[in-house]
Structure 1
């Protein structure tokens, strides 16, 4: 069989198994060998690494992961692709394929069972429709992985790595940068897939932080502060903080902003992660004082 990036091979497999691409599952298979090379290089996968893959499809990325890593566990939601994967990548002795929805299983238990105490790297060509839910599940639930190296929609990647005072900067930027050190691995044109999607993609690497980049009095308040600040981008921080999830009064919001030395007319997109931490700690102080 030719390399799985060959459109002819993909068509042969589809005809053999009566497979049809599912738009609902966001199925787009990589047909550019260079993209696979850049993913392996960007994720720095070696024989010392263990890999968790989500959405292997017909095994295009799975194949090269197995060739470069010590163990690969691939979770595929589409039952019809399991016999396909048996044919295309079943010869790899270091591969285990699990037919399940990664958003509905106990991933921590799966990692403990398959990888023991080793933190695997998550490497995946993620379906666009579940990109953010999957990334945030792994980060917010602190699932033990060392890196997320994922192919996602270009616009989402741009939001993740965005800097303050830019159009792309938002809550997703701050939260992901709190949990990880993000970097762009490579840009991928829509013509690198079969079928061709309507958007371009980006491979992004999120290196999970071992230590928090900021000191917080209360992590929950930090996240709520970010959520309120970006809830309505046109609102000033004074108005955004006093009409959102934090449930603080305008006087409390004004006092917290004064403590944090932030002008009350500033908007959320102007704050970097350190300033958000300072503001969240000030809100904690104000709320704690009121409760006493």
Structure 2
């Protein structure tokens, strides 16, 4: 049987600072803090994001918050299809126009879904994505990332740009000062690592914080059940453990378990020291603990 034909690549004209401002003015767009809008205007940065994601001609990428289309154009140059999820109706409406203008040979590879990424469901997307590549809105970056990983199990690789501090938290190891709920929950889905840093000057408007790239490679063979019910049980334990971060797990989990004694019994059964604190446990330990009755 012959190999499937790979569509010929087009060539997208990427956006620079002048083009971003021109498009914003034409569409009547003013970046808002409420939606966490900071538009990338540097071609080298979006190319680096695509490269760090490792996506190629076989990939269908879901992009959250495409904005004016800087990253979208770079992705269309490389992947089979981009499904862009945009909450802003003005930006969602104009994105196909921008792609048709700057990448006419690739315009049929773009699908735009006007929706809130925090609530988007698989049946709202025209096709199951294989990767998530996005400059996430910084005010909701972690909830959006965890929601999409849970809702879209077809995503094998995620490469997201977030606030540098958040990137550090997501990729932190147990025992780190910044290790916490985002670190443990991201680790439920796959291996997490920092994939680079991004300065402030590649954005308009210029943000007050540095940015970072985080890559999550979903487990090819999950070490634990990935169904919704099990995930919720594990996340409930994680939330309880870190709600009172300075307390021992025996004390912090007493409400979850029913009493300090019940918490201690479950901890011991899971092979965990009851006097330990949540920041010392890896994701696997929380999974074991969630399985104790």
Superposition TM-score, scaled by structure 2 size? 0.85
State the alpha-carbon separation in 2 of the partners of residues 42 and 253 from structure 1.
42
Q: Is the 8 A contact 1:13 1:84 kept in 2?
A: no
1:205 paired to 2:215: yes
Partner of 1:130: 140
Please point out which of 219, 222, 232 is paired with 2:234: 222
SS at match of 1:212: coil
Please point out which of 99, 108, 111 is paired with 2:114: 99
Please point out which of 110, 113, 116 is paired with 2:124: 110
Shift of residue 215 of structure 1?
7.3
State the alpha-carbon separation in 1 of the partners of residues 60 and 271 from structure 2.
46
Q: Give the number of the structure whose alpha-carbon radius of gyration is greater.
A: 1
State the alpha-carbon separation in 2 of the partners of residues 162 and 226 from structure 1.
15
Please point out which of 155, 171, 174 is paired with 2:165: 155
1:139 paired to 2:153: no
The structure-2 alpha-carbon separation of the partners of 1:100 and 1:221, relative to structure 1 and needing over 3 Å to count, comes to closer
State the alpha-carbon separation in 2 of the partners of residues 200 and 177 from structure 1.
23
Q: Which range moved further: 81-90 or 212-221?
A: 212-221
State the alpha-carbon separation in 1 of the partners of residues 99 and 114 from structure 2.
15
Shift of residue 32 of structure 1?
2.1
State the alpha-carbon separation in 2 of the partners of residues 123 and 219 from structure 1.
23
Q: Is the 8 A contact 1:55 1:125 kept in 2?
A: yes
Q: Is the 8 A contact 2:170 2:214 kept in 1?
A: no
State the alpha-carbon separation in 2 of the partners of residues 218 and 26 from structure 1.
32
Partner of 1:180: 190
Shift of residue 259 of structure 1?
3.0
Q: Which range moved further: 43-52 or 254-263?
A: 254-263
The structure-2 alpha-carbon separation of the partners of 1:14 and 1:262, relative to structure 1 and needing over 3 Å to count, comes to closer
Shift of residue 176 of structure 1?
0.8
Partner of 1:89: 99
The structure-2 alpha-carbon separation of the partners of 1:261 and 1:150, relative to structure 1 and needing over 3 Å to count, comes to closer
State the alpha-carbon separation in 2 of the partners of residues 58 and 220 from structure 1.
35
State the alpha-carbon separation in 1 of the partners of residues 57 and 235 from structure 2.
37
Q: Is the 8 A contact 1:178 1:273 kept in 2?
A: yes
Superposition TM-score, scaled by structure 1 size? 0.85
State the alpha-carbon separation in 1 of the partners of residues 77 and 109 from structure 2.
9
State the alpha-carbon separation in 1 of the partners of residues 258 and 187 from structure 2.
26
Shift of residue 233 of structure 1?
0.8
1:26 paired to 2:26: no
Q: Which range moved further: 127-136 or 141-150?
A: 141-150
SS at match of 1:93: helix
For 1:65-84, list aligned pairs within 5 A. 65-84=75-94
State the alpha-carbon separation in 2 of the partners of residues 72 and 174 from structure 1.
29
Partner of 1:231: 243
CA-to-aligned-CA distance 1:138-157 (integer Å, 9 cap, x gap): 23335432222111111111
The structure-2 alpha-carbon separation of the partners of 1:224 and 1:103, relative to structure 1 and needing over 3 Å to count, comes to closer
Gap runs ≥5 in structure 2: 1-11
The structure-2 alpha-carbon separation of the partners of 1:183 and 1:262, relative to structure 1 and needing over 3 Å to count, comes to closer
CA-to-aligned-CA distance 1:28-69 (integer Å, 9 cap, x gap): 111222211211111112111111111111110111111111
1:168 paired to 2:162: no
